[in-house]
Amino acid sequence: MQEKNVLEIERKLEGVRTAFEQWRSVRKKRERIPGNLWEAAMDLSTDYSTCRIARALRLDYKELRHRIRERSSGSSSGEFIELKAEQFFPPMHCVVEIRSPGGFEMKIQADGAFQSQLPHLMGLFLREGR
């Protein structure tokens, strides 16, 4: 079943790549990429890294990353929320910095028993932070 899912994801990338190639073959010189193609490229960010998408579709990485971030920021406020959990755990300091495939960054400063929850928290961030 998982193999079928991987094949579907690959077909989706290939379909978007084909759409870009068709558009490039008939476009006028210096014509901007249509919005529907940008949307299709950004939709791939749930399954692929920005770098992989940009390379496969021959897009400017920074422009694609900017558009993905812009679209994602529209669905959330982007405010920083600080959670102070020191009162619950004994002092043992750990710092983790992580970046999602969508380019979002998170820094966690954890103490004590909270460290056992880091893999779960990082997994949630990577899944939801695209």
Q: Please check the confidence at residue 33 and state whether its pLDDT lies above 70.
A: yes
34-60: average pLDDT: 93
Q: Which residues pair with 111 in a beta bridge?
A: 93
pLDDT at 92: 67
- What is the rounded distance in angstroms from the CA atom of residue 30 to the CA atom of residue 13? 24
Task: Kindly state whether residue 81 falls inside one of the protein's structural domains.
Answer: no
List the one residue out of 92, 91, 85 whose CA is nearest residue 121: 85
Which two tokens mark 110? 């954890």
Q: Which of 116, 118, 91 is nearest to 107 (CA)?
A: 118
Better-scored residue on pLDDT, 45 or 77? 45
Residue with tokens 């390379």: 55
pLDDT in the model for residue 1: 42
Is residue 80 in a domain? no
Question: Do 65 and 98 sit in the same domain of this protein?
Answer: no
**Owning domain of residue 108:** 86-128
Range scoring the smallest mean pLDDT among 50-54, 56-60, 91-95, 121-125: 91-95
Same domain? For 56 and 103 the reply is no
Residue 99 placed within a domain: yes
My answer on whether 71 and 105 are in the same domain is no
Residue predicted with more confidence, 58 or 1 = 58
Side-chain-facing half-sphere of 79: CA atoms under 13 Å: 4
Q: Is the pLDDT of residue 111 over 70?
A: no
Computed over every residue of the chain, the mean pLDDT equals 81
Which DSSP symbol is given to 16?
H
pLDDT at 44: 93
Type of residue at 30: R
> Binning pLDDT at 50, 70 and 90, where does residue 40 land?
very high
d(CA 10, CA 48): 10
pTM over 0.85? The answer is no
pLDDT of 75: 56
Does the pLDDT value for residue 106 go beyond 50?
Answer: yes
**Distance between alpha carbon 96 and the CA centroid of its chain, in Å?**
18
C-alpha distances in angstroms, 7 versus 10, 14, 57, 66, 108?
5, 10, 18, 28, 35
Q: Of 61, 67, 58, 62, which Cα lies nearest the Cα of 27?
A: 58
